[in-house]
């Protein structure tokens, strides 16, 4: 009887803790999410099937960099939006951008990581200048002197978010 009781205790502890392990998401440790701690954040990854991949290729002129996109729904008191964690190859290394979209517009762009030399790294004020850009128009952005590939990668990532916002954004 004692062995059965111990097994039940172990099983209950296992059932309580295992789901918590599966819910830990390091992206939510980013300062952006900490600054929005009063908002509800729901992970809502986008998985591209063959039809969605073809739509991407048609609109982007090439296949997307990935078939899985990290998207989070951010539900705040006065607004709802999506947050995309986007990776793009600059030269031979990647950069990661956090792109916050609200009402089919760029609300915020944050540099999460940048593995290229610092002279190619976009400045905070350049990224802030992207705020307010509409996902319903062509996205044109000013270049960064000496960092043409960073500019092109940023534009490519914004265009991928534009496609998702305009075609695959299902409000729940």
Q: What global pTM score does this model have?
A: 0.82
28 close to 41: Cβ distance less than 8 angstroms: yes
Query: What one-character DSSP code corresponds to residue 134?
Result: B
Alpha-carbon gap, residue 95 to 86, rounded angstroms: 8
Alpha-carbon gap, residue 124 to 6, rounded angstroms: 56
Give residue 157's pLDDT.
93
Which residue numbers in the chain have pLDDT < 70?
1-24, 143-147, 170-172
Query: What one-character DSSP code corresponds to residue 21?
Result: H
Give residue 29's pLDDT.
87
- Tokens 């729940």 locate to 172
């Amino acid at each position: 009887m004692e062995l059965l009781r111990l097994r039940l205790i172990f099983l209950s502890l296992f059932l309580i803790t295992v789901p918590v392990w599966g819910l830990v998401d390091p992206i939510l440790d980013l300062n952006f999410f900490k600054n929005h701690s009063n908002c509800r954040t729901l992970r809502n990854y986008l998985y591209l099937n063959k039809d969605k991949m073809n739509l991407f290729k048609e609109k982007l002129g090439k296949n997307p960099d990935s078939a899985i996109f990290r998207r989070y729904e951010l539900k705040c008191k006065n607004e709802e939006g999506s947050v995309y964690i986007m990776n793009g190859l600059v030269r031979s290394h990647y950069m990661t951008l956090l792109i916050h979209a609200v009402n089919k517009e760029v609300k915020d762009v944050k540099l999460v990581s940048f593995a290229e030399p610092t002279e190619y790294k976009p400045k905070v004020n350049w990224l802030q200048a992207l705020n307010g850009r509409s996902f319903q128009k062509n996205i044109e952005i000013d270049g960064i002197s000496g960092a043409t590939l960073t500019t092109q990668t940023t534009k490519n990532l914004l265009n991928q978010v534009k496609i998702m916002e305009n075609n695959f954004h299902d409000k729940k």
